[in-house]
A and B are shown apart, each in its own frame.
Chain A
Amino acid sequence: MVLQINHVTKRFGTFTAVNNLSLTIPEKEMFGFLGANGAGKTTTFRMILGLLDPSEGRITWNGKELNYSTSHLVGYLPEERGLYPKLKVRDQIIYLARLKGMSKREALKELRWWLERFKVPEYENKRVEELSKGNQQKIQFIAAVIHKPKLLILDEPFSGLDPVNVELLKEAVLSLKESGTTIVFSSHQMHHVEEMCEHLCILHKGKPVVHGSLKEIKRAFGKKNLIIHADFSLDALKQFPGVVKVKNTTEGMELQIEGEHVAQRILSEIAGKGFIRKFALEEPSLNDIFIEKVGDSYE
């Protein structure tokens, strides 16, 4: 059960939305898709789902192309949430679940289980327009996973949720992964991807600029973050060889440095100048990598 994206290009007229994208997403993995707005994430998802045909290349799932005969194996949470505002949650979910090949009874049983899990069993007979945005999102999530898909595509699953609901949804996503679902998800909130994904890909203007496992990407990036909290002025470090970026904080400084060796030289430089309360070397965050790779165009 491998999702294979093979040299895929999608053009709309003269505009190239996705440019020669190749990815392999192994089974039972959580794969993160990062990219600025308009980077081509949604277009890629739509091609995976078969809503759009690639201009070039192929997308296969287990060696076969995905189409409507396999749609019951796939779950999709679109970026723009949408449900029938006037329909009751129950009718809505049953309708969507039946379109995925479930029976009415099965769908109702699953729906109740999920509502229970999200601690909102009283919503079964409410109309969607009566629910808050966050709660609508829970219902939307249920619609995407109710038929126990093998491949789950989540486009910005956590946007617009409060922290409690983010945790609730995260737990649900992780438990689906445990039970063997391959999950592809996109976000522009780095910490979610950092926390949950083994593999990821950063898309920029339709091209993958970084691609691989989280650890490898961080190692390959090379640069490290150095955090120093001290009682004396650290301004001299700004000109220190090997320092790439400097950010002043209330208690001291955060430096981006070229590698571990720079940290050692800095330590010997400032040692004895005064009291150092914190000196910590950290892995670069995904955020740093993203900003570096995608650059100014990301906002």
Chain B
Amino acid sequence: MNNFWIILHHTYVNKLKSKSFITTTLLSIVIVIAMTNINKIIEVFDGDSGYKVAVLDETGQLYEPFKKQLSVINKEIKLFKSNKSVEKVEEAVENGDYDGVILLHLNKEQLPEAIFKAKSFSDTSLFTDIQTGLQQLKTMLAASKINLTPEQLQKLYEPVSIEKVALEKNAKTEEELNQARGLVYILLFVIYFSVIMYASMIAMEVATEKSSRVMEILISSVSPIKQMFAKIIGIGLLSLTQLTAFLLIGYFSLKQNMKSLNDGFFEVFGFGNIPVETIFYAILFLILGYFLYATLAAFLGSLVSRIEDVQQMITPMTFLVIAGFMIAMFGLAKPDATFITVTSYIPFFTPMIMFLRVGMLEVPLWEIILGIGILLVTIIALAIFGAKVYRGGVLMYGKSNSFKDIKKALQLTKNE
């Protein structure tokens, strides 16, 4: 057991001290701090936020009511009444003084019509808002034409009252679901990112030892299996260290930013009240997912003899992770789809998709346990199989980068 700890310690400390690790960690921390203060950053860049739209009102009476309507829809749109000629205003738009110009006039039926001119229509929201404002203005004018009283008008516009009642016990309300979605999205991303990054780190590590041929000395002192698991756990601890650093820094940075935490931007992500349960499952599935893919990566890494071939070798594994992430992204919109339920039991997808279900829905405990059970059995099976491949793989040299080598590696281990 002693050698196990020496390797684990060596793997952990050496990676921790390595320049590349320190650089990526620092870089990621900067990103974390930026992300948690994104509202402030947006404010800095959008200091003069909002749109400026010039209005040429031919009638002289539409400007005020239109301005009133629009201010209800979007406060960010500022209207400016202009008396200049159309050409001059168009020029001003092209110079960037205004985001657009709107020409208002009345048609034969005395209802408003408009021409909207802008540099381009890459920003559709401005146009939509103006359209909505104008539509309301038109409805109002039309209504007053048929002599409806303001009370009648109000009744006409009063929204219908619908009360939503979920019959399933503990079902999440729409609002809760939206909040859960934000948190789950972020945690899914953490799982996805960690699994890909740390698993390929393992594959690289194994391939480096193999290509530098230090492997042969190592396995003459320590059994390859012990070495493989010491490595997996060593990198695992490293990943936990890194993630803890990110989480702590992210948390404190958010706390600094607390005021905006419960309103505005972050409300969408549901950071106001983080459910402990979701975090617990995120960590659990992160660890399980890591073990599954790390084992896979370790034995794939043991098959190549040049570092250049590592990426090629682990590509199929990366695709599996990406597929899982894609399915999870789809599941965010529709977490109770049958497709999602089924895939949450496929071990290679379980870490992300079962977590998605747990985070978004009320999943019965036995389903979670079943999913985790299948995942654990797969991890153990993969570890046993992987250890066998690894044992032979580390002794194989040559231009080996195909899956046929798995068979060759197993043959080396066998003692017929």
Contacts and interface: CB of A to CB of B under 8 A. Distances in A.
Interface stretch (B134-142, B151-159, B160-168, B212-220): B212-220
A241 interface: no
A50 B322 CA distance: 40
A129 to B, nearest CB: 9
Choose among A51, A74, A87 the residue with the greatest number of B CB atoms under 10 Å from its CB. Answer: A51
B217 A46 contact: no
A71 interface: yes
Nearest to A84: B214
A172 B354 CA distance: 61
Contacts of B223: 68
B211 to A, nearest CB: 9
A143 interface: yes
Contacts, number: 67
Given A80-B216, A82-B212, A83-B214, A96 B221 contact: yes
A78 B213 contact: yes
A148 to B, nearest CB: 14
Q: Which interface class (under 10, 10 to 19, 20 to 34, 35 or more) fits A? A: 20 to 34
B220 A81 contact: no
B132 interface: no
Interface in B41-61: none
Contacts of A84: 208-209, 212, 214
A82 B416 contact: no
A49 B213 contact: no
Given A49-B220, A54-B415, A71-B220, A99 B6 contact: yes
B402 interface: no
A68 B222 contact: yes
B61 to A, nearest CB: 78
Q: Which interface class (under 10, 10 to 19, 20 to 34, 35 or more) fits B? A: 20 to 34
A84 B218 CA distance: 11
Contacts of A76: 216-217, 220
A11 B223 CA distance: 22
Interface string A34-53: 00000000000010010111
Interface string B174-213: 0000000000000000000000000000000000110011
A99 B218 contact: yes
A274 interface: no
A12 B407 CA distance: 11
B412 A52 contact: yes
A62 interface: no
9 contacts: A11-B416, A12-B412, A46-B395, A54-B415, A71-B220, A74-B220, A82-B216, A99-B218, A101-B2
Interface of B: 2-3, 6-7, 10, 14, 18, 208-209, 212-223, 395, 397, 411-412, 415-416
Query: Which 3 pairs across A and B sit closest by C-beta, in order of nearness?
Result: A82-B213, A53-B415, A99-B221
Interface of A: 11-13, 46, 49, 51-55, 68, 71-72, 74, 76, 78, 80-87, 91, 95-96, 98-101, 143-144
Given A78-B216, A99-B218, A101-B2, 18 more contacts: A11-B416, A12-B411, A12-B412, A51-B219, A51-B395, A52-B395, A52-B412, A71-B222, A78-B213, A78-B220, A82-B212, A82-B216, A82-B217, A84-B209, A84-B214, A91-B14, A95-B10, A96-B218
